[in-house]
Structure 1
Amino acid sequence: MPRKIARVGTVLIALTAAFVAFPAEASAYTAGQCHYGAGDGNGDGHGNVITMQIYLCPDGHEYVSGLIKTPDNAWARVWIDDSTNGGVTWTGFHLYAEGYDAVSTGNTLYYDGSPHKVRVCGDAGGGPTFCILSWY
């Protein structure tokens, strides 16, 4: 019996460590619960501008949302990319949104913690995908 309890305890410790190392993708916060701190933006050279909006939340961490604006009410898409290898590869479509003119990933904020790195990307009017500069 003591061996079985030890194995169960080892498994529970391993599972707890996995939760600590890989926090949930979805945020516990919305924009209304946090303080807007800054934005980082980038244009595609055709008047389309993408912005990562950065919020400081009650847990002391920064969380983000994304926004894309078009000059001519064009169809646009915006999403948050995530990397765990320093930006070598990216996994996209976190908080994905699409629509016309000014499209936002919404009121929900995204945070994944270290070692994750996030950026906001999008495209508009059938043009190529473009992203802001990387952010941790």
Structure 2
Amino acid sequence: MKISASKIFILSGLINIVAVLILSRFFTNVYIPKYDATVMSNFGLLMIVLWGFTYISVAKSYKKVKWIVAVFAIEKLIYGIIWVNWQLQNNVSPIFEEDLMAGIFFSIYGINDILFFIFFTIVFIKLFRNKAI
């Protein structure tokens, strides 16, 4: 079974939106900003939701906006690097003890970003080479 790239754009957006809203308890979870006030403030979380809507907005027309797909790849790479750096400098275990949702968030968000960085990069390369996807 082949899943279309458009559906993966939608999936990427839904993951951003739903995961942030659930794990942040609709921006009321004080533990996520506590452990990364710079990137994961409530404003930062809101921007992640906004990125999710942008992925969905181009799902049907991504072939016409290859450079935006490249921006998506760069954005996901940046979040992936930030997460890896955060993981190297922090321990998620105490976060789980304080709040399960925040612990889950800090454990997985970068994996999601790295996987979608790979997806957006592959899509961009194929579009850049004018290959059908």
Q: TM-score range by the shorter chain?
A: under 0.3
Question: Which structure is richer in relative contact order (CA contacts within 8 A, separation 6 or more)?
Answer: 2
TM-score of the aligned structures, taking structure 1 as reference length: 0.23
More helix by share: 2
* Bigger CA radius of gyration: 1
TM-score of the aligned structures, taking structure 2 as reference length: 0.24
